[in-house]
Amino acid sequence: MSSSLCRSRIHFRQDRFLLADQTQPRTRTFTSTTASASRPRQPGEPTGPNEPPTHISAPPSKSPLKVWPILAIFATGTFLFKKIVDQRKGQGYQPKGPIPGHSPSGKGQQLPAPGRSSPLWSSDEVTVIFVLGGPGAGKGTQCSYLVSDYGFKHLSAGDLLREEQNREGSEFGEMIKTYIKEGTIVPMEVTVQLLENAMRRSMESGGNHGKMFLIDGFPRKLDQAHAFERSVCPSKFTLFFDCSESVMEKRLLHRGETSGRADDNAESIKKRFKTFVETSMPVVNEFESQDRVVKVNAERSPDEVYKDVQEKFKERGVEPIHLKFVQTQAS
């Protein structure tokens, strides 16, 4: 009986222990055992006691150091964009250094780029009149009349470029020839410097006492106009010969029969028309907005056109030369 009583007490104690174990909250403890260490890590489980599960991403860094590369890229892009805009406007662009190897005088010196901050001559010292019009508008004929009656020195940008392309030893001869044949515009630095050199020679020779210049076929673009007036001399006004493409084409094809010029052909003429409208007309429009354009209808006969030119020059205060002949008594 005593043994039965003992067994009953043991079972009673075991039942009490089971009931107590079920009523107490269980706490999970992590222990490192050899068996658990050898078990493969399940996805999402930490690899160590101080590392969070892999499915929980770390918060982004708030360090300011990563912002600087973005700010640097933004600042660089802003600077380059402004530089491109200024260059297209013809503002803030100052060519630096010479054009290597270019020597329009043939003496071997380099051709400097027009990088002055102020004009070489003022408009009070030198009179410059730009002469513009489409190819075949009659600019050359009218300029010859003005030279004879007003004492101007006629400078043709196209003639100066053709002379340079044919000058022996010119490194830019082939380049100029290609531009002219294609009806496109020669780089600004070359044309501006050739004109400046020609003006200087004319004044130094003593043959241009009035220092008056007709610059024919220039400026072809706004950046040329800005560069010339900024570095060489401001113009008085622009003489613009207005003529339709059909009339100009007829004149050019007729001239091409005897001129021998490479650009007096139908294909080059069309390219020249297109270039003039797209690049030179903005020059006329800008100067016209400043009241610096004298517009003449160039579809009439040369004499009729010239009469109109003289009247409009008089309105602008430009008078022809009055020659006085003094009779001397023969000894």
Pure H helices in the chain: 2-23, 34-38, 68-89, 139-150, 157-166, 173-182, 188-204, 222-231, 245-259, 266-275, 281-289, 302-315
pTM above 0.75, yes or no: no
Residue 219 marked in a binding site: yes
Residue 21 has pLDDT above 80, yes or no: no
Residue 272 marked in a binding site: yes
Domain of 239 in residue numbering reads as: 129-316
Residue 327 lies in a domain: no
Residue 321 marked in a binding site: no
Residue 220 marked in a binding site: yes
Q: Any idea what the CATH number is for the domain that residue 244 is in? A: 3.40.50.300
CA distance 206 to 189: 27
* Domains in the chain, number: 1
Residue 177 lies in a domain: yes
Q: What is the pLDDT of residues 203-247, one digit of tens each?
A: 998 878 789 999 998 998 999 999 999 999 999 999 999 999 889
Residue 255 marked in a binding site: yes
Residue 185 marked in a binding site: yes
Residue 170 lies in a domain: yes
Residue 240 lies in a domain: yes
Residue 14 has pLDDT above 70, yes or no: no
Residue 184 marked in a binding site: yes
Residue 39 lies in a domain: no
CA distance 268 to 261: 11
**What percent of the chain lies above the pLDDT cut of 70?**
62
Residue 29 marked in a binding site: no
Residue 137 marked in a binding site: yes
CA distance 175 to 213: 27
Residue 155 lies in a domain: yes
Residue 107 lies in a domain: no
Residue 300 lies in a domain: yes
